[in-house]
Structure 1
């Protein structure tokens, strides 16, 4: 199916050394894309890159801190000097749990810088090049918390709600330049970020009852959504948040 073929495209995936970022890198690579992997930790990044190369994928690495606007711009401009980024997946993120009335200001600021500011920094830096070419795909990783809240994670919920609206804003400003800007909102997936919850039998039992499909998601189940939104098959999809959540947002 040629509309889903990413051969010849280059995809930058932030926070791609593990978890959802690595799985999305795998999925895009299987669809033919060259992958530019990003993370702050050099050792983890190189290990992940070698693992992906072992599958036959074409992989570059681009280490920089997504919460540093100048570092992001310098790294992206440097890569664009010799190549181009056709697809961006803003995946880097963090979680910090705690009662809202006791939530530390520094923790709130750090969470917002990682989950929201980074999407603006990296998205803007990449979009400036995409606009000049008249095409590009930006996919932001939102969350089931983009539309739902749960006790103990109000700041995270705020950050992912912001991603949903920032995605709409990107589409509104940049669609006229040929860019498609969308988001994927994962439900509850087995990732290092959710390790404590996965290991909690009580929470896992609650999740199985709350989710119509009755289980945790597997990160590989996000790959199809990413390939679709990164491909020509989604040429008229813009400003949309695609929930991949086993039905949790559809059910009371």
Structure 2
């Protein structure tokens, strides 16, 4: 593929994005189902740069040549308020993709956050600014600005293919990249799960057990698990 920049991404209904923002990554992951949930979950190397960071917005993607961050600036230029810059150089340590100046510009522009598969730097300043940044590496390694690279094309981020316009949701538990056509499913499933767990919390406070609420006895029996009254080393 030749170096290329696409200027637009497919748009998701803003009310649906707002509903997603009220859910946790864990509930959205479960709401997607066992297969899609795994397909949308970025690898665990992707972590918030500061505790408490949360992000929910559509992906403006860029692939940067290792050691270079020229295309990051293309993504920053194209991103609209609420969007999340998703940048990768293949996860390489060399050439920090993100820092405090990019943070300031993104914050002033009203962007929703950044997800960086590669190095981010100036982590203390980013934390003070309160802008949500997730990264797979923290390193001050100097970047060049020569290219090549592309923006708003599919990119692989921590093992998951992220398409321009995917809904990026991140919190302390990880980051999801949800295709637009699956967002309604994820949100509806998360809302149902959240309501169910709220009812379970009330039952637990009344004295119920997790074993009974989850109806685990039939699963124990199906697995052939034997329960013995006593300690493992009691004389038989």
TM-score, normalised via structure 1 length: 0.27
- Structure of larger gyration radius: 2
Higher relative contact order by CA 8 Å / sep ≥ 6: 1 or 2?
A: 2
TM-score of the two chains, using structure 2 as the length reference: 0.29
